[in-house]
Amino acid sequence: MKKIDAVGQACPMPVILTKRALKESNGETVLISVDNEIATQNLAKMAEQLKLSVQIEKINDSLYEVQLSDPNAGNRPHTAEHPVLPEQAADTVASSGASYVVVLNSDFIGNGSEELGRTLMKSFLFSLTEQEVLPDKVLCYNAGALLTTEGSSVLDDLKALEEDGVEVLTCGICGEFYGVKDKLAVGTYTNMYRIVEILRTSKTVSP
């Protein structure tokens, strides 16, 4: 049995750590320790998507154990050291290989607390780096231009995406408006005409 200690790990890390373990489990049961009920619910939903059996046990108010197992593991031929779960393709954004672009038009996600919104943006971009299918491009405009400049808290994830072949494009006039035109730290500047071309011809994902 593979064991994962995700206690103290914020969303979406318990799910991401579990997915990594499942890829390497070779059908072995995976036991995940978490410290909140929301994490158990997220893991249960993932198990349902992957058609895995799930058992949840509350040890105390700050410790839960989630056990995931593949009910068909013993019936599958051993074709690789770390076989991919057969249902795993359903968890990708575009399992058929279709391309998409990600649009970031703010430096935080949603309405309400900007502090929470910035935490959600960090979580979104980190989760994006963990996707089976990466976007072709990331488009940043309006306050989204602040994400690609010096001092941004998400530079590491944007750089990781760029290293994996994702084109990161930032609106040049937006950089000028916010006074950060000379502080671009990842990707390149582009113009609104090019942004419109990309949006017009691409499937888009926006948090």
Check: CB of residue 46 under 8 Å from CB of residue 18: yes
Check: CB of residue 4 under 8 Å from CB of residue 32: yes
Per-residue pLDDT reduced to its tens digit, 97-150? 579 999 999 999 999 999 999 999 999 999 999 998 999 999 999 999 999 999
Question: pLDDT value at position 87?
Answer: 41
pTM for this entry: 0.75
Q: Taking the chain (207 residues) in consecutive chunks of 10 residues, what is each chunk's mean pLDDT?
A: 92 91 88 94 91 94 93 60 42 58 97 95 95 96 98 97 97 97 97 96 95
Q: How many CB atoms lie within 10 A of CB 97?
A: 7
Domains of the chain: 2-71 (3.30.110.40), 101-205 (3.40.1260.10)
Distance, in Å, from the CA atom of 86 to the CA atom of 24, rounded to the nearest integer, reads: 14
Cross-strand partners of 63: 60
Residue 54, exposed/middle/buried by CB under 10 A (0-12, 13-18, 19+)?
middle
Cross-strand partners of 55: 67
Q: Would you give the distance in Å from CA 45 to the centre of its chain?
A: 16
Distance, in Å, from the CA atom of 128 to the CA atom of 47, rounded to the nearest integer, reads: 20
Half-sphere exposure of 11 (CA within 13 A, CB side): 13
Distance, in Å, from the CA atom of 118 to the CA atom of 107, rounded to the nearest integer, reads: 7
Distance, in Å, from the CA atom of 43 to the CA atom of 158, rounded to the nearest integer, reads: 26
Beta strands in 25-148 (DSSP E): 30-34, 53-60, 63-69, 101-104, 137-140
Distance, in Å, from the CA atom of 129 to the CA atom of 3, rounded to the nearest integer, reads: 24
- Return the structure tokens found at 62: 């700050």
* 135 Cβ contact list (under 8 Å, min separation 6): 99, 100, 101, 102, 128, 161, 166, 205
Distance, in Å, from the CA atom of 162 to the CA atom of 191, rounded to the nearest integer, reads: 19
Question: pLDDT value at position 80?
Answer: 43
